[in-house]
Amino acid sequence: MTECSTENKITNIDIEEILRTIPHRYPMLLIDRVLELELDKYSKAIKNVTFNEPFFNGHFPEKPIMPGVLIIEAMAQTAGVLVRKTLTGNTKLVYFMTIENAKFRKPVVPGDQLELTATKIKSKANVWKFEGVGRVNGQVTTEATFSIAIVG
């Protein structure tokens, strides 16, 4: 584990720690590293997009583009790590509830490093709402507002 923390900030959460934190596994685990998170506030992760991803076989064979729904899922996983780290000792699952105002501004293609941020807007009981942004080389590729439910 290469995780470092200072009070409410945690940096450099590697893949082994991600696997201990959220239940997703190949081919649905869509984040490779959490660069930083501040408990109860935001999380920033990366996805290294490679041509070997299984979805590129059909999306699209002649012009591979990462499906938007998977970019949004990667944002939710970024938020899921934040929730699980914030609610220490919590073994409950985090489920997608809603997606609002999704915008896809630029394609994400093999060779890109997709940076994902999930910023908590509010929480009420077991529902947390986030603003998510995807970027490649500093340019916004994807934006969405989404909610997740903590269940179990």
The set of catalytic residues is 59
Provide the 8-state DSSP code for 71.
H
Residue 27: asked if its preceding bond is cis (omega within 30°), the reply is: yes
Non-local (6+) Cβ contacts of 4 within 8 A are 10, 11, 12
| Both structure tokens of 34 | 């959490």
For residue 39, CA distances in Å to 9, 11, 36, 52, 98 come to 6, 11, 10, 33, 22
Tell me how crowded residue 3 is: count the other CB atoms within 10 A of its CB.
14
